Amino acid sequence: MSKEAIVVLIKNMLEASAVTLEVFFLTLLFSLPLGLLFASLRMSKYKFIELLVRFYLLIMRGTPLILQLIFFYFLPSQLFGYGHGLPRFWAAILAFSLNYAAYFAEIYRGGIQSVPVGQHEAAAVLGLSKSRTFFKIILPQVVKNILPSMGNEFMTLVKDTALAQTIGVMEIFRLANSSASTNFSTLPIFVAGLFYLIMNSVVSNAFSFVGKKLDYYH
């Protein structure tokens, strides 16, 4: 590729990575709390609610994210007979959020259930309120438990943003793909790979840092 073409590529990549980052952060914004909601419904004492949530979790974790993206993109036109689906970007956010919320829900549930019951009992016997027990005693221990799994999910999400190109979102992968075919070069693919790597290095380091901070006890 010519020098000018590379410069243009990098410039476009930077713009596209802004989209990638938007998808990343918006997905987390919605899916992190949504996962908590599903986790608590999953542990509901009402069998009906528990089964409903388990069904949802099975669907979201059991079918490919790429299919879910296409489904949510076309859903409104199926339901309401529009000429077109949701705006591409928001269809992607919707699909990603619902999908990742399912994974987070199971991670949260595992983390919560792995805190020994003795912790709840000690707090109860000391007269701590339910909310104090959860926020001061249980939650901090859950966070430490689930940190490695959450790190995995965050890094997977960075990479999964590439799937958004399936429904036409102009992010890094789509750009790299079209640039590669336009220029008959694999260089754009490597450049894209580098961008993902840099983003995931930041995520990885962030989790390492938090992990070290939480390592003051065992």
Residue span binding another protein (CB under 8 A) among the ranges 9-17, 95-103, 121-129, 190-198: 121-129
Q: How far is the CB of 7 from another protein (least distance, A)?
A: 51
Distances (CA, A) of 99 to 28, 51, 61, 78, 149: 11, 18, 7, 20, 16
| Among the listed residues 42, 88, 109, 144, the single contact to another protein using CB under 8 A | 144
124 binds another protein per the rule CB under 8 A: yes
Out of 64, 140, 148, 168, which residue is the one contacting another protein (CB under 8 A)? 140
State how far the Cα of 10 lies from the Cα of 166, in Å rounded to an integer: 22
Q: Is 125 in the site for another protein (CB under 8 A)?
A: yes
Contacts (CB under 8 A) with another protein, residues 181-210: none
Q: Are 85 and 75 in contact (CB under 8 A)?
A: yes
CA 61, 66, 72, 74 dihedral sign is negative
Q: Is residue 147 a contact point for another protein (CB under 8 A)?
A: no
Distance of alpha carbon 165 from alpha carbon 92, whole angstroms: 9
| Two tokens, residue 17 | 């990575």
Residue 138 is classified by DSSP as I
Output the smallest distance, CB 117 to another protein, in A: 9
CB of 150 to another protein, least distance (A): 17
Question: Least distance from C-beta 115 to another protein, angstroms?
Answer: 10
Q: How many residues bind another protein (CB under 8 A)?
A: 20
User: What helix, strand, coil percent values describe the chain, rounded to 5?
Assistant: 85, 0, 15
The binding site for another protein (CB under 8 A) comprises 116, 118-119, 121-122, 124-129, 132, 136-137, 140-141, 144, 216-218
